[in-house]
Amino acid sequence: MSKIRSGLSALSLAVGLALAGGSSVLYAEGEPTLSKEDFEKSKNIYFERCAGCHGVLRKGATGKNLEPSYVKKNKDGTEEPAGTLKLGQERLEKIITLGTEGGMVNYDDILSKDEISKMATYIQMQPPVPPEWGMKDQLGSHKLIVPPDQRPKKQMNNINLSNVFSVTLRDSGEVALIDGDTKKIVTIVKAGYAVHISRLSASGRYIYTIGRDGLVSLIDLWMETPQVVATVKSGMDARSVDTSKFKGFEDKYAVVGSYWPPQYTIYEGDTLKPLKIVSTRSMTVDGEYHPEPRVASIVSSPFKPEWVINIKETGLIKLVDYSDIKNLKEVTIESAKFLHDGGWDASKRYFLVAANMSNKVAVVDTKEGKLAALVDTKAKPHPGRGANFVHPKYGPVWATSHLGADVITLIGTDPEKHKDQAWKVVEELKGHGSGSLFVKTHPKSSNLWMDAPLNPEKEIAESVTVYDIKDLSKAPEVLNIAKLAELGTTKGTQRVVHGEYNKAGDEIWFSVWTGKTDPAAIVVMDDKTRKVKTVIKDPKLVTPTGKFNVYNTQHDIY
């Protein structure tokens, strides 16, 4: 069986794409090698499971640098080898098997021993460089399934669209639309692999989804049975999408941020026709060039024709004025590395985003167009969109949980009436474990919920912590949501992830995320009683993860 060199040219990381070129070249004696077949399998596993945190080129971000010959620079100026070749096969297999307390899950219940062994070998080989994806490629991938003039002029179904949940079915490459009133599946549509988020048009008519494979899908909720009416492939790997929401631009544009190639693309809002591509390759806040500055979170301002676009590896935040895309204007704000998820404060003037490997939260004043603060936090903040509520003592706060610490950090957000607390950590709430991805509340709720799905301990990953925000001196309650789902025995941990409220704010939905062939569920909790209200089970719910309520997502309610 031939051995291949991991530096083969133009290798695509996208699932299902064929080998683009290169020849089988033998490695020098003693260097790690894999057969062509095992290399391809490991490459796809890396894309599906690892690239999001460690990067396509393995230079690290939320996760550590995984380059074979990486040299670590110490604070005292000295250098030492710290690459995957230095760690070696045995140690890498142990890390992949058991996970880490910094937020990497254990893969012994996800991958086989053989897959873990080959993955340990694969990351000791040079990373393949995937192809670029420009305007010609995007136009060639664009599919207008139902043109706008052939779509309904009014809502053609009797569904309460404002309380529909768009639910990611990660490993089946689908999105389930679930009626929040009846708890019944309305329809399941094909979307990209591992859809990262769903976002709403300003009108609430269209759902935009973005898959990890770069596939953007436009779903029309007005149709008799909601369906995908347009798709386009934005790149090889992508995570973020949003729309134009400012008055006069409603539903006009969509914007998608890609992980690979590092760029963002502006599309026609009702057709997904690509209009403009902007590269994000540039210097970092440290003054060093980076070849893979991925676009992390994007939010749309309700007060300006402007998107806030966060560039992960550079630590730069772009305020992009879309009022004239032929003469596009950007304001570039320096913050910290590596930028990830974030959300608005309650006023929607200030955007707070985690710079999770700097252990900071950056605060952007979008009215003034400048950085308001860099707030130091515990390790690896990971807010999702965060959570806003009024603290009994400190006034309005925004909350984030953490991948690398078992706390929820509360940051003051009112520089006018609570100036002394503004942009400071006013309190840390003790959680049930690290490895949290999301923290959530609702304006009509008195609860604050936190998950911990990436904790390597089974009991912690299956549970959530819930706090009384009217009296934070009370001990929080820890609830094992997975047990409430009553799924029986599954191959791996039943990870509980992503609380999402219904429109009324009296229910919170959690996904019980299991293996691709295991039964899964969505547990609907009564927010007031903290008791299980409904468990949604269906064989078609394959690895449910993120859930996005139409009304709350449309209006940025969190």
For the annotated catalytic residues, the residue numbers are 50, 53-54, 104, 340, 382
Helix (H, G, I), strand (E, B) or coil at 220: strand
Judged by DSSP in three states, 342 sits in: strand
The answer to whether 398 touches 386, Cβ cutoff 8 Å, is: yes
CA–CA dist 74, 205 (Å, integer): 52
Token pair belonging to 117: 């062994």
Element spanning 119, H or E = helix 113-122
- State residue 25 phi and psi, 5-degree precision: -120, 130
> Cβ atoms within 10 A of the Cβ of 272, count?
25
Tell me, rounded to whole angstroms, the distance of Cα 114 from its chain centroid: 28
Q: Report DSSP state, residue 7.
A: T
Please report the beta strands in 22-150, taking only residues with DSSP state E, as ranges in sequence order: 71-73, 79-81, 143-144
The residues with which 231 forms a beta bridge, in sequence order, are 143, 217
Question: Which string of DSSP letters, residue by residue, matches 416-428?
Answer: TT-GGGBTSEEEE
27 burial via Cβ count (<10 Å: 0-12, 13-18, 19+): middle
Angle at 467 between CA 466 and CA 468, to 5 degrees: 135
Query: What one-character DSSP code corresponds to residue 474?
Result: S
Long-range contacts of 394-400 (CB under 8 A, 24+ apart): 394/418, 394/421, 394/426, 394/427, 395/421, 396/345, 396/346, 397/426, 397/427, 398/343, 398/345, 398/346, 398/352, 399/439, 399/441, 399/448, 400/352, 400/354, 400/361, 400/439
